[in-house]
Structure 1
Amino acid sequence: MDASNPNDAAIDPAEKNVEDQSPQEKFTAGRKRGERGPDEKIWSGGYSAVDQSGSFIVLTLITVGLIVGGIFLWPILLAIPVLWIGQLIRVWWIKMGVSYELTTRRFMHEHGVIKRTTDRIEVIDIDDVTVEQGILDRMFNVGTIRITSSDRTHPELRIPGIKDVKKVALMMDDARQAERDRRGVYIESV
């Protein structure tokens, strides 16, 4: 074998004819073709406080009512800062308690502030992605994504407070379809 002659170079096992390959070479060649490498992050996010816009509007109306009532009974005005601080702590607690990440293969959601739980749903297991938005949600471009999947732990998962909800839902649907195409899984109508 002459090193200067490119035709005499060693043949790559993946380039051999299928008949000439050992079972191990067939397995590793097939795995290399089907693999895409590590997970690639598509999107990550958390709870958007804008989702609480309705609560803040109601709290503002209550505040106005308390101010009017404070004209006749001034100690009632002390409830205003307590209500607002309570609402801000509530929103902070919700915001700190959830995070989401969508990769090319998985959707991961973490929840909890004191005790943190991380759950994963394989993207290929997602059956349906639905967007739910109220009138205020549409005004502020937030909403809830409802995922229906064949995952045993979360057959239906609601993800509230997502900013740019339609864009994120489309990314989830695209990732699901790309993973099914990559694995050669096709769903037929029943």
Structure 2
Amino acid sequence: MNCPSCQAEMPADALFCAKCGQRLNDSVPTGATGPAPTPMDRLKGRGAAPDEPETHLWAGGFSPKAMIGHWLLAALVTVAGIIAGVLFAIPTAGAIWLFVGLGSVALWGGLFLYYLYLRFGMSYELTSQRLVHKVGILSQSTNRIEVIDVDDVSYHQTFIERMLGVGTIKILSTDTSDPKLVIRGIDEVKRIANMIDNVRRDERRRRGMYIETV
């Protein structure tokens, strides 16, 4: 069956044209049983609309600026430990300084390892059709979320993150592998979150998701 508007070839049971959105018929084909599929079911089964190449839009990962708050807090804790060691200088001061030294090494070492994992162990790529999420350093897992499956995009910033322009993006989707994806430490977080949301809207609009639900 061909679309009467753009002449694109469509399946015989299609109700809407995947290319231009033209309504093809108003009823379920003769002999069909069960409830009529929704536009979401038909479009997912049909895949991406034809003649639309996948375009790379953005690639990124954890920004070093997102760790500034952690480094400042670690510095305050270290200074507080040194001050406590000076104020409580008693015959057992050597044990206090040992505790302060070991604590500082553990604190800064743990933060550094955490930074390395976030900086080099996570990366993201956004295209016009999907969001790719890679996790791991030595071994790596790759997950893909179709942007048409994304239901909601939001972002959060602490006070320091607002001054630095970084933040955390939260994506809710119907994807079984990542139904709630949290992307931390993204630079220009507002722009990237809006970009993901706009791509989601554009892809649904492109596939005819704005047409009435059957």
TM-score, normalized by the shorter chain, greater than 0.5? yes
The one-letter code matched in structure 1 to 2:179 is P
SS at match of 1:43: strand
* 1:58-109, Cα deviation, whole Å (9 max, x unpaired): 1011111122234333434533344323322221122111000000110000
SS at match of 2:107: helix
Q: Work out whether 1:61 is the aligned partner of 2:76.
A: yes
1:53 Cα deviation (Å)?
2.6
1:146 Cα deviation (Å)?
0.8
| 2:45 corresponds to | none
Q: Work out whether 1:34 is the aligned partner of 2:50.
A: yes
Q: Work out whether 1:140 is the aligned partner of 2:164.
A: yes
Instruction: State which of 126, 129, 133 in structure 2 corresponds to 1:105.
Output: 129
The one-letter code matched in structure 1 to 2:9 is K
Instruction: State which of 92, 98, 101 in structure 2 corresponds to 1:78.
Output: 101
Looking at structure 1, the residues matched to 70 and 84 of structure 2 have their Cα atoms a distance apart, in angstroms, of 21
- How many residue pairs align between the two structures? 164
1:163 Cα deviation (Å)?
0.8
Q: Work out whether 1:152 is the aligned partner of 2:152.
A: no
Q: Flag the 1:63–1:188 CA change in 2: closer, same or farther, 3 A.
A: farther
Q: Flag the 1:57–1:104 CA change in 2: closer, same or farther, 3 A.
A: same
Give ranges in structure 2 of 5+ residues lacking alignment: 11-17, 20-48
Looking at structure 1, the residues matched to 144 and 209 of structure 2 have their Cα atoms a distance apart, in angstroms, of 20
| 1:6 corresponds to | none
Instruction: State which of 178, 197, 214 in structure 2 corresponds to 1:173.
Output: 197
| 2:31 corresponds to | none
CA RMSD of aligned residues (A): 2.7
Looking at structure 2, the residues matched to 82 and 147 of structure 1 have their Cα atoms a distance apart, in angstroms, of 33
What is the TM-score of this pair, normalised by structure 2?
Answer: 0.67
| 2:23 corresponds to | none
Instruction: State which of 46, 69, 83 in structure 1 corresponds to 2:61.
Output: 46
Q: Flag the 1:120–1:75 CA change in 2: closer, same or farther, 3 A.
A: same
The one-letter code matched in structure 2 to 1:46 is G
Deviates more, 1:48-57 or 1:112-121: 48-57
Looking at structure 2, the residues matched to 43 and 138 of structure 1 have their Cα atoms a distance apart, in angstroms, of 21
Percent of residue pairs bearing the same amino acid type: 39
Deviates more, 1:167-176 or 1:134-143: 134-143
Question: Quick check: which one's helix share is greater?
Answer: 1
1:120 Cα deviation (Å)?
0.3
Q: Work out whether 1:118 is the aligned partner of 2:133.
A: no
| 1:89 corresponds to | 113
Looking at structure 2, the residues matched to 84 and 154 of structure 1 have their Cα atoms a distance apart, in angstroms, of 31
